[in-house]
Chains A and B, each alone.
Chain A
């Protein structure tokens, strides 16, 4: 039977038992030292998550809240509140109504930028204080093991022979998979057939069932399926190879300059004072240095990337510009 013996492909064999042990040394981020803040929270904190419970952002928020409370970094209770809907639009509109209240913080990831760029949100990143970026998540291009394509080049050549012949599955227009598709098309001069599924999970099911040829999940989503010999990684869409996946070449190495990373950070409502802002910056630095957060990043295949205060604002602005450029190319950015 096919399931009894897990096929150990060349790559799967190379993946260690702890498949996501991203070496922290990979992008050693200098931890800034900040002056202490004179402000302290007086009431419980409301930590708004722009996605439903159980997803990546929810996991991030609950882990962060847990560490901040357990390690005594924040002395008041932290309530995680899920405000899903509108790809973040509902949550950020809500946070914006709390303007000036330093007891409200929120998670932010790529949808924080891409939703406003598409004109689907009344607020943008400029309406908030972008306190910290803590880590980034990479993407990996995978095919199912039965697929004839062993390298990204083979897949690209097949697509060149038959425009729209290669199907790539994703979760929605403007999502990470869509951006990867667009960048790969541009870098290789090919035309792919992008098919939208309702969620990343459904796209993975379609990939395993052969309804689509290629998908671009996060390494953490794909790790087990790769290890079990069900999926084959073709390329990392990161600047460098992952330390724990040394045998998976980057797309860049294979001649296609396609990189994309999804940041995870924390924002604060506009109108917070300098001292209040400084308080949260200190909290985020302490969080980043905590063992609990290091374990979270390691377990979930996240690359540490610490940007605080001005650095964070600069990083977010750069990311926004990058996404604007891509979404404009995709024809879904709102006309200025």
Chain B
């Protein structure tokens, strides 16, 4: 990296029109992230035609702004109404919504914004100094390594449940089962498709998440004899306290690291990053039993992770021309539309685009912090709206959002059906998070397993002979044994005490 390159970048990013479009991008991103159903990839796709006619660097600045801006925005609805605005915010609902119920929505939103800012900025630094070597590292991650990562993900699923472990695991199994629907890519065989063209690509994650979380929660609210009262607390002074910060900074740091490294892997993405960050945080926490009841580090860690991941995902795109996620695939298409060939030469043939984008991301993250911190209490004031008014509005927005992603009425139906399922689950105390995460992990796990075994012509040795995969699997094994060891030790300690008597 040349210092001059960064100067060039800032000279491009600081022109009035680029500043304006960066601001527009992060603002639209916040809105898109906040709207349930519309995630960043759909948002960018819908807004793509708007960028035609702009200079490529301006267009990329705006699109990237939408991408990382949506990671900030996704927090808002997760915290306030238990509705993940996009898939990477599912984990935020677990503690964020509980915080909102306790009247601490402002603190949750504020901490999410600060964590996102730190994670976003740290990731841009890494993008700037080390994009090509990091991209090369990312592509060495083959199917066995992905398999190991997914196994690690599955072992942490149980830790997402604050209530009954059995119920959590049951829901994970249900999620894995729904994950098998669709045409099998390897053999072309339809599985649980019932000749319905809409089921061929499987059940989409987003309608399920919106149904289970948003619609399910809203129905449950109507069903409860005692309504959740709108918050009456004063809204000023709802920002994070010193204690909140002390509780969160470790989570922000770990979330950033996990998010970034999962983000650069093509095919893993922000959702898995936020999920691993939350699970890690719970495991290293001194108060794991409080997770799911509204602890602030349970918001800070996944929110930092999804932001770091969205920046990390730009690395294989910018350094190799390989899209690692749905959103970066749309951005790759956008680059082509602007007449550029994405690939390893992009940084040298179009330094203005790369460095302008990098510089704009520093500025964009500051803009988002400035936008979100003062606005956190304002957003939180949504909770003052009576439920009779809020609920129909949310349901309307959620269904329109789900429809708009693929112009699909079928997905609206999926949302409604899973809304009903979510309601029943809520009534009987079955957690939704393991179900949706298993739905994401399951197909990836299956694919990675089959790809690996095909690579090795059937020998499972491939998982342990490749060092990276072996290490991750060992960590997963430890993660499974850890609670057992802890239980064993506490029992011995208990026996020792008993022996003293």
Contact = CB atoms under 8 A, between A and B. Distances in A.
Nearest to B343: A224
A93 B199 CA distance: 13
Nearest to A175: B185
Question: Which among B141, B200, B330 has the highest number of chain A CB atoms within 10 Å?
Answer: B200
A52 interface: yes
Interface stretch (B83-91, B235-243, B449-457): B449-457
B17 to A, nearest CB: 22
Interface in A146-198: 164, 167, 171-174, 193, 195-198
A76 interface: no
B321 A225 contact: yes
A54 B43 CA distance: 12
A228 interface: yes
A68 to B, nearest CB: 14
Interface residues of B, number: 59
B408 A174 contact: no
B32 to A, nearest CB: 14
A199 interface: yes
Contacts of B187: 173, 332
A159 to B, nearest CB: 13
A118 B455 contact: no
Interface stretch (A202-210, A251-259, A275-283): A202-210
Interface of B: 44-46, 48-49, 52, 132-133, 136, 138-143, 183, 185-188, 190, 195, 197-198, 200-201, 266-267, 316, 320-324, 326, 329-334, 336-337, 339, 341-346, 348, 406-408, 447, 451, 454-455, 457
A59 interface: yes
B392 to A, nearest CB: 28
Question: Which among B197, B341, B457 has the highest number of chain A CB atoms within 10 Å?
Answer: B197
A44 to B, nearest CB: 15
Contacts of B326: 52
Contact of B266 (A2, A52, A202): A202
Nearest to B267: A202
Contacts of A19: 341
Contacts of A230: 320, 344
A223 B342 CA distance: 9
A55 B41 CA distance: 12
A174 B329 contact: no
A58 B336 CA distance: 11
Contacts of A210: 140, 142
Given A53-B48, A224-B342, A205 B455 contact: no
A179 B133 CA distance: 34
Contacts of B198: 85-86, 90
Nearest to B133: A3
Contacts of B337: 59, 62-63
B447 A93 contact: no
A227 B329 contact: no
Contacts of A223: 341, 343
Nearest to B342: A224
Given A52-B45, A173-B188, A225-B343, A208 B139 contact: yes
B254 to A, nearest CB: 26
A164 B49 CA distance: 45
A120 B336 contact: no
A167 B188 CA distance: 19
B142 A54 contact: no
A244 interface: no
A237 to B, nearest CB: 21
A90 B197 contact: yes
A201 B143 contact: no
B295 to A, nearest CB: 35
B142 A172 contact: no
Contacts of A204: 320, 322
B345 A227 contact: yes
A83 interface: yes
A62 B190 CA distance: 32
B200 A55 contact: no
B451 A83 contact: no
A90 to B, nearest CB: 5
Interface in A211-251: 211-212, 220, 223-225, 227-228, 230
Contacts of B322: 201-202, 204-205, 208
A172 B44 CA distance: 26
